[in-house]
Amino acid sequence: MKTADPSDLTGGIVIGGIRFQQLPLVLAPMEDVTDPPFRRLCKEMGADWVYTEFISADGLIRDAGKSLRKLDIHQDERPVSIQLFGAQADAMVEAAQVAERACPDFIDINFGCPVRKVASKGAGSGMMNDVLKMENITRRIVDNVTVPVTAKTRLGYDQKQKNIVDIAERLQDCGIAALAIHGRTRCQLYRGKADWTLIGEVKNNPRMHIPIIGNGDITDGPSARRAFDTYGVDGVMIGRAAIGNPWIFKETRHYLDTGKDLPPIPLKERTNICRRHINLSVDWKGERTALFEMRKHYGNYFPGIPHFKHYRIQLVTAGTLDTLNAVLDEIEERFC
């Protein structure tokens, strides 16, 4: 299945004029997760390329505050993709032009989001039921912006319609610079095991010449290594495994470079990174929203600690930054 020497991951690739010195580890777009504070942390920890949260085209062209705020980009997080979703070509083109003014390195088209409220409207992975519409939207965006355009898809809509090999060729012909593929169908959502065989077929299709980024069940160095070794992909994308775990990129790169695991992150370092994450989030989105959205991260920040349930409850119920810092102080005093 592989097409290149998988033992050499240092050769790098060029995507839309952006040179990656090594085959990239990519932070996947995730709603209410991949905001600027978290993206900066992941970059500091070794992510080579990051994506914004997915942004509604309709919200962006209506000047909706939440959508516009998602365009914020910090120089420390580059290269960064702004990802857009929508069901109508005119809105997607206009949104791409708005996004371009934020000066991203890439504009990415979301053909992969499986959630009902998106897919049922024909956006995200719901678009995989209408390949001609996918082509039209992709071609029009490519023709109407100057930054490189990429796309993210799934294998197909359902088990009977795994048409990613054909779709990949069509999107390449529309002019995209790279394609990321999640190894599940829309109907699978995030259930079951990701199927990388079709990702490999796309990568090894002699018609394909753009970089292919594989996504799905990349949780550590060994799973990333298998993806590169077996399927020859040009990069791997890490999603849910990065939540509350920004150092997964550092650990994964170390394993790819050495074949060995890094020692476990000391708890004191975990609490320090958690504090930095919280403080960056408060600065960017305000205390109340930051504390609420941080809740999804704590499980991975503090995994496997005996008798920790009491502290986890305190973390997720803390109503002020001072209260949260006091809980972290107590965790350090007891466990460090």
| Residues labelled as active-site residues | 113
Place of tokens 């119920």: 317
Q: Where do the DSSP E strands lie in the chain? A: 13-15, 18-20, 25-27, 49-56, 80-85, 106-111, 149-153, 179-182, 212-215, 235-238
Short-list 23, 20, 18, 21, CA closest to 3: 23
Distance from C-alpha of 312 to C-alpha of 298, rounded to nearest angstrom: 7
Helix, strand or coil, per DSSP, at residue 257: helix
- Output DSSP code: residue 296: G
Cα–Cα dist 166/113, whole Å? 19
CA 63 to chain centre: 24
Token couple for 221: 């160095």
